[in-house]
Structure 1
Amino acid sequence: MSSVLFVQLPPPRFSFSQAPVNIPLAAGFLMAALGRQAGQSIRASVLEESVASVYADSGLVEAVVQRRPSLLALTLYVWNVQRSLLLAARVKARLPDTKVVVGGPEATRDNEWLLRHPAVDAGVFGEGESRIQGVVGALAQGRSLADIPGTFCVQDKARRLNLEEPLPWDLAACGYPYLDRVIGPSRSGTLFLETVRGCPFQCRYCYYHKAYKSVRPHPRRAVEDVIRWAYQPDSQVAELYLMDPSFNLSPHYRDVLRLMAQLRPARDIRGHTELRAEFLDDEDPARLSEAGVASVEIGLQSVNPKALALAGRSSRIARIARAVERLKKESIEVTTGIILGLPGDRPEDFQKTLDWLKTTDAYTVVHPFLLSVLPGTDFRQRAGELGLTYDPRPPYYVQATPCFAEDELRDAMLVCETTFDMELDHIDLPCLVDHAPDLTVSLDAADYLSKWIVDPAKKKWRQKLAAALTKAADPFIFWFRGADCRGSEDDITRILDAFFDANPHAFVHVVFEYPTRPRPRFLQRLAARTAQPATYVNKSMQSWIKGTGVLSPAFTILVHDPLEQGSRRRILGAYEDLATIVWDIGAPDEEIISQAAGPCLVSAAVKPGSPYGYHLLRTLRQRFRSSPEDVLFRDNVLQQFWLRSTNQWQPQGFPERIVMDVD
């Protein structure tokens, strides 16, 4: 019997405690279609979230190899394609007979680097349900895919493409995968719901309308059944993400909202969706609010008519402004997207877009995007004609246009950052909990490892490093602690060298806790030696990252707070744009807290309800009223209490697993 393992790797995240949102909806539909057609001849499964969204690269390889699939099926998006192909290559090195088939938005006819990747045996363009059985059967039997429309394969070391358009899949042919429990909501309780497949618009920076040649609704009964199930007390759904690209233009848009509004009294679920704001009528914002939709995304992109016309977008910006005003009156959060680097847009035009937003207040949050010249899009096919210079690898950012030089793109993004008081390369501080008996484990007993507190001088790490590399989570925290940082520089370098060789796509916080601070020159060398600048996690913000030029590794230094501004400025100046300084204030009294600066670390381990604990937390809340995120605790009980009491708590991901080797 052939076995198929579907794998969808998550978007990068920067804190392990942050709940991942990685729902393999495409794999769920494929499994439903495969089960309907193939009967018992094929055993199919999805790599579970507790593996796909936990482990770094090395652990993922081990997990797949242990399952020994005949066929490894990868769903590829811009954020996971490089990492997925690394996984494929390493699995095939261990399991040479395993075939790798790819699909998803990255699998397009013109994405040459993917089509020619040595780890890929075959791929499917567009939706795969109608062809999944044929593809799996052919690969299992060693046959060519040449007669299957909309596929490619490697046969006799030659690449063969069938560019014939496949027939659209009948969306009523199999059930919605949530109802069969093939897949479920994310660990944070988010449920992705597609009510239609396809998009009526033809934005030239987007591939979605090309992947699906028409707009086809899912059967109304199936959509309603999923919604009714989501509102059941035991569904574990906390957020319903209506993921249609233009939800308010879906045929059953208002019916869906009406059903959600009817079910809300029994169980209130937060709604989120994407809208074309210019097509909302006067009553739609109230309908969305009554249904529990708390946040929406809209695409303004630009206010420049020429750029909008070249992008295939509407220029009815006055209607967008009125719609956003009505949405905000209903207390719906509006994230307004704009794109930097559109053909036809000049620096002064981008500035006009920023000015228009500030004048109209047509946003709650502004989300600026640097144009990605994505495979399969009109902009990719016409890049030469339009004069677009772009990175040929993910995230495919535009590097220059006839209207925008490379340095002007960077400058414009920084102007946007200042205009809307945002930090584009913001990374949350690492969790600095080191007192958590219920989270601290031995390496042998740990299923995975999210934080390793280690003194390199003790040399224990040498016996544990190989196991730690395989059990490491993504994201990961190295916490180097000891008596002499300078004397441990070589060992720290060896540890991080080995880690990034094994797990190049992981996001890593590196924390230093030493009596003497690490030398800035050492940190510069360490970043230059160990960082992986070509990975998505680093390239996604490469154009405007300061200091080391990469997000990972991210350095944090714990420093005893001198409680004096001049001393602080000198220390901060030595590490400007190179590392984050966290001021250790120990077990502070009221006077120390009054002089404390953020971010700060509290070392006290007391019960929140004790007299000292109560006074400590109250005084910290008063001092850091406007920036509670700048207060961190070593004690996990205090840390969790602080997050809840200052309204920072969010749905938690998988529990930390901390290994300590500092004795």
Structure 2
Amino acid sequence: MRPKAKNKKFKILLLQLHGIDLLLTRNTPLNMPFAAGYLKAMLYKEGLLDEVDVEILDLNKTPLPGNARLVDLIVSRSPDLLGLTLFSFNSIQSLYIAENVKRRLPGLKVIVGGPEVTAETSYILNNPVVDIGCIGQGEVTFVQIVKDIMKNKSGYADIKGIFYKRSDRVNITPSREPIRELDSVPSPYIEGFINLNDYITAFIETYRGCYFKCTYCSYNKPYGYFSANRVQEEIEFLKQNGIKKIYFIDSNFILSPVFYDACERIIRLNTHNDLEFYADISVEHLDDKKADLLKACNFKGVEAGLQTINPATLKNIGRPLLNAEKFKKGIRLLTERKISCAVSVMIGLPQDTLKDIRKTAGFLRESKVGSALAQLLQVFPGTRIRREAKKYGIKYQRKPPYLMIESPYISKGEIKKAVGLYRNASVKQCNVGIFFSYSFCNFPLSLENKGRKKTSGETGLLDSGINKVIIELNEHLPLVKLGEKISRLAQQPFTIWFKASYLQKYLTPIKSFLSHIKKDNPFLVWNVVLETDGVVSFDIIEEIKKSVKAKENLSSDGCFLLEPLSVYIVCEKNREKGSSSLFKKLAPDAKFYCPLNISAADCWENKLDDILKEKGYAGVLMDFDKTLELSFIIRTLKTAIKRTRAQNKTMLFRNIAVYCLFSLIDQGQKNDNTSLIKPAPSRIIYINKDFNISSECLPDADAFLDLVEFQVKSLRALRKI
């Protein structure tokens, strides 16, 4: 440990990283540091906060720091102890961060906990950066660890439920009994240890563990529960503090020991349905009384795990056999009460063939299930199915996310076909990539002057993190030097937009620029935009992919690994012979968007139709002349949305105000309710050919108030049109 100044508190920093999959699949990641809140609450209960300064590094706010910036942020806090909550989706990245922090703070103690920490997770047990790991529930264990560290104890053998290092040897202590009376753990919400201002959705648990014994899960026994009174107190507190949605994270809410009592209390405190509720349930355990209670509480959606209808497979994985009639009745009860239900199925289970998976899909259609979610089997450490993988011939990834690869029952090709049963591309909706919205100026209002702005030189690059960089390329631009500066400032997700008439000419400096940033940010999520008047070759795409390719691809969408790179090409259709075949060749690796500038005099509808007919384009990048009236923009967007959606294509915008207007119109076309858009406070750098920062904008509160006023004005205009 580092020597401490007199009267200085022991500093603890707790961190739960996002998974890259969240950044790739959601506009606003939800990553509430629930476990960290419990740990701080227990230290508070034990009276340790007078001696210990505990900070929960809340990363739910966007933009999120990149790897290098996060390391710098943690080092600047100078903690004595870094606590990491590890899941399969964030563990490798978390350990990378810890390694780089500890290199600069050599006296730092690193403690890990969470579902990924087991006695069988060897890459964590043997990682030299980890000092201690909590196996199982961590609230009581963590308090004991902190007390022993503060007493400068050299060993931790008397603490149950941990592993620790001594003389480079990993020691695992006997397991700890789970907490039965969970009310003994203070609420992190009520004690104020989670900042609810950053969330509209919160989590609540009424019990821990699970009544099922699925072999692919290690959470397969009930541990303890919270009282209905505690549940009520938390819900009341969350409601008073602006939370609108609550998700019960129990393994099966309707089997909770306090289900009936909790529901009756919710009904009394949610008389005006100000709160919406969501939960995981088992449909077969649903009856009329339980369904009525869910409706009366204002449950809007539930998720149910079916996995398969194959009796042999269900027996192999330790799940009860399906009662088809009860399942169908449960779906009907939910449908009648207008509670949406998403049913999850698992691909790759023992003895479940493609034929069996098709039968399961047919059963879901027959049961009139509204939504089905497919997930590939994950072979987690510490589970029975991992121990039996060899018996069933299951091949799987040895590192997170542990996806199964193939088995004697289902081949790689059949896995893709099985996933395709649940992912129908024809129902994919148009969406908007807000990372394109880099302009806070021009039509329809100027926000740039309301934010912090610099107009020349490169000193502005060093002020804070950067989300988006737009660069007009020329041969004199010092891209390598620029990449070195930006590498420690990049934030998640990171967009780099290159503009040039002929991109091939700048390929070498582009690669160097990207490589510098990637070196310090190996887990960065990239959006690379190439805007050009010329032709984009296959070689350019391949070289860019190599420059930013992650060392390990560790994220998935539940079925397939996700590539943390999206390439977008903005260009006019090339009329030369062979351009269509080039589009087709590049389509798997990049998305093409055609720029469309609209003025009142334009025959824009014909131009849009021509773009949408071109199979090579994913959509259109739309700009509006700044002199246009708001009413004209609204009518244009309404028409354009219908046409692009009919062709299953997307619309993107440079101007953030136009993006917000588009979103308001899009919401109104889908339902009667519209809500104002709150874009992430992105920092955007525009570097012109003379290496001047012609636009650097970090919008302040006044700028976003202007944006809200514009949206209110737009809503009024929408009602008139």
TM-score w.r.t. the length of structure 2 is 0.84
Query: How many angstroms apart in 1 are the aligned matches of 2:363 and 2:628?
Result: 47
Match 1:610 to one of 624, 627, 630? 630
CA RMSD after TM alignment: 2.8
What is the CA deviation profile of residues 414-464 of structure 1, one whole-angstrom value per residue up to 9, with x for unaligned ones? Answer: 34434x85679x996463223214478554475321111113435254444
**8 Å Cα contact 1:16-1:653 kept in structure 2:** no
Structure 1 residue matching 2:156: 3-state secondary structure: coil
Structure 1 residue matching 2:110: 3-state secondary structure: strand
Question: For residue 434 of structure 1, what is the aligned residue in structure 2?
Answer: 438
**8 Å Cα contact 2:431-2:650 kept in structure 1:** no
Give the letter for the 1:289 counterpart: K
Give the letter for the 1:578 counterpart: D
**8 Å Cα contact 2:572-2:594 kept in structure 1:** yes
Question: For residue 3 of structure 2, what is the aligned residue in structure 1?
Answer: none
Query: How many angstroms apart in 1 are the aligned matches of 2:400 and 2:682?
Result: 30
Query: How many angstroms apart in 2 are the aligned matches of 1:280 and 1:467?
Result: 58
Question: For residue 105 of structure 1, what is the aligned residue in structure 2?
Answer: 115
Cα distance, 1:465 vs structure 2: 2.7
Are 2:254 and 1:248 equivalent residues in the alignment? yes
Structure 1 residue matching 2:182: 3-state secondary structure: coil
Are 2:570 and 1:558 equivalent residues in the alignment? yes
Match 1:200 to one of 211, 217, 240? 211
Question: For residue 633 of structure 1, what is the aligned residue in structure 2?
Answer: 653
Are 2:385 and 1:353 equivalent residues in the alignment? no
Query: How many angstroms apart in 2 are the aligned matches of 1:566 and 1:268?
Result: 60
**8 Å Cα contact 1:231-1:267 kept in structure 2:** no
**8 Å Cα contact 2:342-2:373 kept in structure 1:** yes
Question: For residue 590 of structure 1, what is the aligned residue in structure 2?
Answer: 605
Match 1:160 to one of 148, 156, 171? 171
Query: How many angstroms apart in 2 are the aligned matches of 1:108 and 1:607?
Result: 62
Query: How many angstroms apart in 2 are the aligned matches of 1:50 and 1:367?
Result: 25
Query: How many angstroms apart in 2 are the aligned matches of 1:25 and 1:335?
Result: 24
Query: How many angstroms apart in 2 are the aligned matches of 1:612 and 1:422?
Result: 30
Give the letter for the 2:171 counterpart: R
Match 1:453 to one of 466, 470, 486? 470
Give the letter for the 1:436 counterpart: F
Match 2:28 to one of 19, 23, 37? 19
**8 Å Cα contact 2:483-2:514 kept in structure 1:** no
What is the CA deviation profile of residues 324-380 of structure 1, one whole-angstrom value per residue up to 9, with x for unaligned ones? Answer: 122122222211100000012122111211222223222x22111110001111112
The worse-fitting range, judged by mean Cα deviation, of 221-230 and 256-265 is 256-265
Match 2:304 to one of 298, 301, 315? 298
Cα distance, 1:245 vs structure 2: 0.9
Are 2:240 and 1:223 equivalent residues in the alignment? no
Structure 1 residue matching 2:130: 3-state secondary structure: coil
Question: For residue 713 of structure 2, what is the aligned residue in structure 1?
Answer: none
Match 2:528 to one of 510, 520, 535? 510
Q: Which runs of 5+ in 2 are unaligned?
A: 1-8, 442-446, 455-459, 613-617, 690-721
Structure 2 residue matching 1:251: 3-state secondary structure: coil
Give the letter for the 2:606 counterpart: E
**8 Å Cα contact 1:89-1:119 kept in structure 2:** yes
The worse-fitting range, judged by mean Cα deviation, of 397-406 and 302-311 is 397-406
Cα distance, 1:526 vs structure 2: 2.5
Give the letter for the 1:187 counterpart: D
Cα distance, 1:129 vs structure 2: 1.1
Query: How many angstroms apart in 1 are the aligned matches of 2:308 and 2:55?
Result: 43
Query: How many angstroms apart in 1 are the aligned matches of 2:557 and 2:676?
Result: 25
Match 2:45 to one of 36, 48, 51? 36
Question: For residue 658 of structure 1, what is the aligned residue in structure 2?
Answer: 684
Are 2:254 and 1:269 equivalent residues in the alignment? no
Question: For residue 388 of structure 2, what is the aligned residue in structure 1?
Answer: 382
Query: How many angstroms apart in 2 are the aligned matches of 1:283 and 1:275?
Result: 15
Give the letter for the 1:593 counterpart: L
Cα distance, 1:592 vs structure 2: 2.4
**8 Å Cα contact 2:273-2:298 kept in structure 1:** no
Question: For residue 3 of structure 1, what is the aligned residue in structure 2?
Answer: 11
**8 Å Cα contact 1:584-1:600 kept in structure 2:** yes
**8 Å Cα contact 1:196-1:244 kept in structure 2:** yes
Question: For residue 101 of structure 2, what is the aligned residue in structure 1?
Answer: 91
Are 2:186 and 1:175 equivalent residues in the alignment? yes
Structure 2 residue matching 1:147: 3-state secondary structure: coil
Query: How many angstroms apart in 1 are the aligned matches of 2:629 and 2:261?
Result: 49
Q: Which runs of 5+ in 1 are unaligned?
A: none
Aligned residues: 648
Cα distance, 1:117 vs structure 2: 1.1
What is the CA deviation profile of residues 42-65 of structure 1, one whole-angstrom value per residue up to 9, with x for unaligned ones? Answer: 221201236797111111111110
Give the letter for the 1:403 counterpart: Y
**8 Å Cα contact 1:16-1:656 kept in structure 2:** no
Cα distance, 1:262 vs structure 2: 2.9
Cα distance, 1:651 vs structure 2: 6.4
Question: For residue 327 of structure 1, what is the aligned residue in structure 2?
Answer: 334
Cα distance, 1:488 vs structure 2: 0.9
Match 2:145 to one of 129, 135, 138? 135
Question: For residue 599 of structure 1, what is the aligned residue in structure 2?
Answer: 619
The worse-fitting range, judged by mean Cα deviation, of 436-445 and 614-623 is 436-445
Give the letter for the 1:85 counterpart: L
The worse-fitting range, judged by mean Cα deviation, of 590-599 and 62-71 is 590-599
Question: For residue 491 of structure 1, what is the aligned residue in structure 2?
Answer: 509
**8 Å Cα contact 1:454-1:461 kept in structure 2:** no
1:641-652 correspondence to structure 2 within 5 Å: 641-647=661-667, 652=678
Match 2:155 to one of 144, 151, 172? 144
The worse-fitting range, judged by mean Cα deviation, of 495-504 and 6-15 is 6-15
Query: How many angstroms apart in 2 are the aligned matches of 1:355 and 1:409?
Result: 17
Query: How many angstroms apart in 1 are the aligned matches of 2:558 and 2:346?
Result: 17
Query: How many angstroms apart in 1 are the aligned matches of 2:160 and 2:628?
Result: 64
What is the CA deviation profile of residues 500-552 of structure 1, one whole-angstrom value per residue up to 9, with x for unaligned ones? Answer: 22111121111000111321122123213431162323xx259757xxxx622
1:571-582 correspondence to structure 2 within 5 Å: 571-582=582-593
Cα distance, 1:628 vs structure 2: 8.6
Question: For residue 700 of structure 2, what is the aligned residue in structure 1?
Answer: none
Give the letter for the 2:361 counterpart: L
**8 Å Cα contact 2:30-2:60 kept in structure 1:** no
Question: Structure 1 vs Structure 2: percent identity of aligned residues?
Answer: 24
Kindly tell me: are residues 658 and 73 of structure 1, through their superposed partners in 2, closer, same or farther at Cα, counting changes over 3 Å?
same
What is the CA deviation profile of residues 248-278 of structure 1, one whole-angstrom value per residue up to 9, with x for unaligned ones? Answer: 1112223333333333344622221101111
Cα distance, 1:107 vs structure 2: 0.5
Question: For residue 64 of structure 1, what is the aligned residue in structure 2?
Answer: 74
Structure 2 residue matching 1:77: 3-state secondary structure: coil
**8 Å Cα contact 1:103-1:123 kept in structure 2:** yes
Cα distance, 1:172 vs structure 2: 2.3
Match 1:519 to one of 537, 553, 566? 537
Cα distance, 1:410 vs structure 2: 3.0
TM-score w.r.t. the length of structure 1 is 0.91
Kindly tell me: are residues 252 and 627 of structure 1, through their superposed partners in 2, closer, same or farther at Cα, counting changes over 3 Å?
farther
Query: How many angstroms apart in 2 are the aligned matches of 1:272 and 1:566?
Result: 54
**8 Å Cα contact 1:197-1:217 kept in structure 2:** yes
Query: How many angstroms apart in 2 are the aligned matches of 1:296 and 1:627?
Result: 32
The worse-fitting range, judged by mean Cα deviation, of 625-634 and 216-225 is 625-634
The worse-fitting range, judged by mean Cα deviation, of 439-448 and 140-149 is 439-448
Give the letter for the 1:449 counterpart: I
**8 Å Cα contact 1:496-1:530 kept in structure 2:** yes
